[in-house]
Amino acid sequence: MTETIRLHEYAPSGNCYKIRLTAALLGVPIERRHYDIVTGETRTPDFLAHVNANGRIPVLQLGDRFLPESNAACLWLAHGSPLIPTDRFDQADMMRWLFWEQYNHEPNIATVRYWRTVVGEAALDDLQKALLPGKVAAGKAALALMDDHLRGRRWLVGEGPTLADICLYAYTHVAGEGGFNLADYPSVASWLGRVARLPGHIAITD
């Protein structure tokens, strides 16, 4: 592969970090282009026309082609690597964690972190304030589900690390920034340590 891989991103986003982490673990160099999502840099006519009609980052650019959706970008990067199981059930089971992450984990844990650390709780609008308690409860339920699953397991799927671990690590390891107490989930905490010790691991601030 000779074409440039460029990540259109907002660096503190866990969705963007999971792509950088996947690339780092695989030893794949990527270029990075930063956008300020707070000031709407991903909603400009140029961005919508050429990068992502959905107005969101991350987007992985491969030559002149653009791939939105964080987990799809990780799957592209990890194509044919040991981070994707070849066993049919394990591969589908890994996928279920990726879909669960986007449906049950990210909209709660990531949104609460964003609201509390970037927007600021006092600056939330009335609807966000009304949604916050439910999102906190759903975030705790997501962490509890992971903790139950990881009790007695080293990795989310099968016997080794997969994209399920990488993609769920991204927002889980910074859940404390949103007010979640990871000490309440000891199996999750141990698992976070295992992911952090994978060769090639980089921090979200790297």
What is the contact surface with a second copy in residues (CB under 8 A)? 53-54, 62, 65, 67-73, 75-76, 79, 88-89, 91-93, 95-96, 98-100, 102-104, 106-107, 127, 130-131, 134, 145, 148-149
Chain-centre distance of CA 129, in angstroms? 24
Q: Considering beta carbons, is residue 91 or 117 the nearer one to a second copy?
A: 91
Q: Considering beta carbons, is residue 4 or 193 the nearer one to a second copy?
A: 4
Name every residue whose Cβ is closer than 8 Å to that of residue 68 and which is 6 or more positions away in sequence: 52, 54, 56, 58, 59
The residue ranges of DSSP E strands in the chain, in sequence order, are 5-9, 31-34, 59-62, 65-68
Amino acid letter, residue 1: M
CB of 7 to a second copy, least distance (A): 14
CB of 56 to a second copy, least distance (A): 9
CB of 131 to a second copy, least distance (A): 7
- Cα separations in angstroms, 150 against 3, 36, 146, 157: 38, 35, 6, 10
Q: Considering beta carbons, is residue 85 or 178 the nearer one to a second copy?
A: 85
Select from 4, 28, 30 the least CA-distant residue to 16: 30
Evaluate whether 152 touches 192 at the Cβ level (below 8 Å): no
CB of 32 to a second copy, least distance (A): 19
Q: Considering beta carbons, is residue 40 or 193 the nearer one to a second copy?
A: 40
Q: Considering beta carbons, is residue 42 or 197 the nearer one to a second copy?
A: 42
CB of 94 to a second copy, least distance (A): 8
Q: Considering beta carbons, is residue 38 or 130 the nearer one to a second copy?
A: 130
CB of 188 to a second copy, least distance (A): 14
Q: What value, to the nearest 5°, has the Cα angle with vertex 154 and ends 173 and 99?
A: 60
Amino acid letter, residue 105: H
